[in-house]
Amino acid sequence: MNWRDHLRKRLLEIQPESVCALDAAALQLAGEVLPGTPLRTPAPLPDSPCSLAFGIDALNGLNAEQAQHLISQTRLYVAPRILLVVQSGCVLDEAAFRALGFTLSAADPAAGLRIHDYDLDTYKTVPDWL
């Protein structure tokens, strides 16, 4: 399965109530896959959080500090769930995404892309004593 097919499948599985598209490519794909779902962009910040923040080209051209800032701001103010496509040249490596609470959803080595998921509800397991 190529990365675009995987993204379509993930969007249909998640079935978000609203989507904040972090870039034009994400806006277009989300509109195709989820035609009845409200779509927003992060600027200006939505009045209320969206169900999902979705980015395909959002991290392209950013340095590590800018990429981490975008992810942090998105988690705090835009959506509790994030779906990101990451190109092989991204300044954040696999370990950085794990440290930020992301899981690897899929990888397409031929295209040089990885897809990472973040979900506030499941990023950390609850200890037995809690």
Among residues 60, 61, 82, the alpha carbon closest in space to that of 71 is found at 82
Given a contact cutoff of 8 angstroms between Cβ atoms, the answer to whether 98 and 69 are in contact is no
20-47 pLDDT per residue, tens: 999 999 999 999 999 999 999 887 776 7
**Which are the contacts of 16, defined by CB distance < 8 A and separation ≥ 6?**
34, 37, 50, 51, 52, 81
d(CA 73, CA 35) in angstroms, rounded, equals 26
Q: Is the pTM of this model over 0.85?
A: yes
Cα 62 versus chain centre, distance: 15
pLDDT digit string, tens, across residues 75-127: 988 999 999 999 988 999 999 999 999 999 999 988 899 999 999 887 666 66
Mean pLDDT score across all residues of the chain: 90
Distances (CA, A) of 72 to 31, 108, 111: 25, 25, 27
Largest CA distance in the chain: 45
